[in-house]
Amino acid sequence: MEGKERVVESDFQKGVQAHAFTDPPKEFIGKLEDVIAMPLADRRERAIFIATMNAVLKHCKIIETTLHRKDEAPEACAVEIASHIRNTLGSKKVGLIGLNTLYPGGAEQDLRCRKCAYDGPQPEKYRVCKYSVTVWDDNTMTEKLVQESDIVLMTGTILVNGSFDKIWSAVREYEDYLV
């Protein structure tokens, strides 16, 4: 990603909303068949597609939470995720991929997070230690992050920005959990 991320919101069946992040947002009004027919050639189209599919899955009751939290709520979300991982899988070393996963503020100690590949805008700003997590460049360190982690926790942005295939290949090679 190159610029500041923005939220793209989909409204399916007049009332089921869902979000996706992208740096080049695009307004779109159309039918589900139009979204499905998109070639997904750029981040704008992929963001519309992901937001729409999230809304459709929510409408079908396959997923529940499709709206990103605001203000202080991302920290609460991170604590919930950490608690879920700890209660479900026990104590694991977690590799974080994506800006939103940097919000833990304390959850990273609980998860034993030590490393993070950053996959968002302005990466030079985040090649530092933030919330006790060392932030790595996704272009050079993703494979090492996956190799050294028990679980890889990533944001949905990887589906929009086109980095999923690279990350998925590394996850499959090292047989880590993907969350």
Band (114; pLDDT cuts 50, 70, 90): very low
Q: Which residue has the higher pLDDT, 66 or 125?
A: 66
β-bridge partners, 16: 12
Burial classification of residue 61, based on how many CB atoms lie within 10 Å of its CB (0-12 exposed, 13-18 middle, 19 or more buried): exposed
Dump pLDDT digits (tens) for 25-82.
888 999 999 999 999 999 999 999 999 999 999 999 998 888 876 665 666 777 777 7
- Residue 104 confidence (pLDDT) above 50: no
pLDDT at residue number 62 = 95
pLDDT at residue number 73 = 64
Question: Beta strand 129-130 with 115-118: parallel, antiparallel or unpaired?
Answer: unpaired
- Residue 16 confidence (pLDDT) above 80: yes
pLDDT at residue number 53 = 94
Q: Tokens 């909303």 correspond to what residue?
A: 17
- Structural domains in the chain, CATH included, are 6-59 (no CATH), 73-178 (3.40.50)
* Contact (Cβ atoms closer than 8 angstroms) between residue 35 and residue 47: no
Q: Say which range, 43-47, 162-166, 175-179, has the weakest mean pLDDT.
A: 175-179
14 dihedral zone (left: phi>0; alpha: psi -120 to 50; beta): left
pLDDT at residue number 94 = 78
